[in-house]
């Protein structure tokens, strides 16, 4: 079973920030938080990951709470092309078993 | 890098036939994963390999399914005999397993859409 909880769907206005929450209350000390997204009919795409600190790359920012029991993926200026299913996952890193849950379906509206 | 390459992109076959799906991981990656996706069940992990060795095949649904990784640059997923309920999109992904646990993400292929009629 997936070890994360995400809302099934969210809406966001184009140009606004999209904040996608994830709960992972049973995360262990050496597990990473990963985010992937899947645009219709394509393979999932890696977005970002973090262990303890907040992370930012060209796609998104990842905010992890101090107790590491939850995190938020932030798309700073959502576009229509960001409409996708977003998956939050915890695991030990590359090469380890990754179970995908149902994710959050983000709808970006004009 | 061309990314993870899967073939064929689409496969339509008759029930009872053998189906072989192929995957070429990213060069240098030492972990490979096979997933199946359907509307009803979402993304399911079927099997994964580290350094060409199968680590966990608990997700393989039945003995009709088998997977091999003869070398670091090639893997196959075979279904024999195929059934209509095997219709799904099959994804292959690769990653780097690093003992320093730096946390590498997966790179997925574009998938093979299998239809069994």
What is the rounded distance in angstroms from the CA atom of residue B42 to the CA atom of residue B35?
10
Q: What is the pLDDT of residues B3-13, one digit of tens each?
A: 999 999 999 99
- C-alpha of A90 from chain center: 10
Four-point Cα dihedral B89, B5, B25, B28, nearest 10: -150
Tokens of A66: 């101090």
How many secondary structure helices (H) and strands (E) does chain B include?
0, 11
Among A30, A94, A100, select the one facing B95 at the smallest CB separation: A94
Q: Contacts of residue A42 in chain B, CB cutoff 8 Å?
A: 110-111
Tokens of A21: 């929450």
Among A49, A51, A102, select the one facing B42 at the smallest CB separation: A102
What is the rounded distance in angstroms from the CA atom of residue B15 to the CA atom of residue B18?
9
Residue A53 CB contacts under 8 Å (≥ 6 apart), including other chains? A64
Put simply, the answer to whether B35 touches A42 (Cβ < 8 Å) is no
Q: For chain B, 117 residues long, give each residue's pLDDT as a single digit of tens.
A: 689 999 999 999 999 999 999 999 999 999 999 999 999 999 999 999 999 999 999 999 889 999 999 999 999 999 999 999 999 999 999 998 776 656 678 999 999 999 999
Q: For chain A, 110 residues long, give each residue's pLDDT as a single digit of tens.
A: 558 999 999 999 999 999 999 999 999 888 899 999 999 889 999 999 999 989 999 999 999 999 999 999 999 999 999 999 999 999 887 778 888 999 999 999 99
Rg (CA), chain B: 14
Q: What is the DSSP string of B61-96?
A: -STTEEEEEEETTEEEEEESS--GGG-EEEEEEEE-
């Amino acid at each position: 079973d997936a070890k994360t909880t995400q809302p099934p769907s969210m809406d966001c206005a184009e140009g606004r920030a999209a904040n996608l929450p994830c709960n992972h209350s049973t995360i262990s000390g050496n597990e990473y938080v990963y985010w992937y997204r899947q645009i219709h009919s394509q393979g999932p795409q890696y977005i970002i990951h973090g262990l303890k600190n907040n992370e930012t790359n060209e796609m998104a920012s990842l905010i992890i709470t101090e107790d590491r029991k939850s995190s938020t993926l932030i798309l700073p200026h959502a576009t229509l092309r960001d409409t996708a299913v977003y998956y939050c996952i915890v695991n030990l890193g590359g090469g380890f078993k990754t179970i995908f849950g149902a994710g959050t379906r983000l709808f970006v509206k004009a | 890098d061309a990314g993870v390459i899967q073939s064929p992109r689409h496969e339509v076959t008759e029930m009872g036939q053998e189906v072989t799906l192929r995957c070429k991981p990213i060069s240098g990656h030492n972990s490979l994963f096979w997933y199946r996706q359907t509307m009803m069940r979402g993304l399911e992990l079927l099997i994964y390999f580290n350094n060409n060795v199968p680590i966990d095949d608990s997700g393989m649904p039945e003995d009709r399914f088998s997977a091999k990784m003869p070398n670091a640059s090639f893997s196959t997923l075979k279904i024999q005999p195929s059934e209509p309920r095997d219709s799904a999109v099959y994804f292959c992904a690769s990653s780097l397993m690093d003992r320093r646990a730096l946390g590498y993400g997966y790179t997925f292929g574009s998938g093979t859409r299998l239809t069994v009629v």
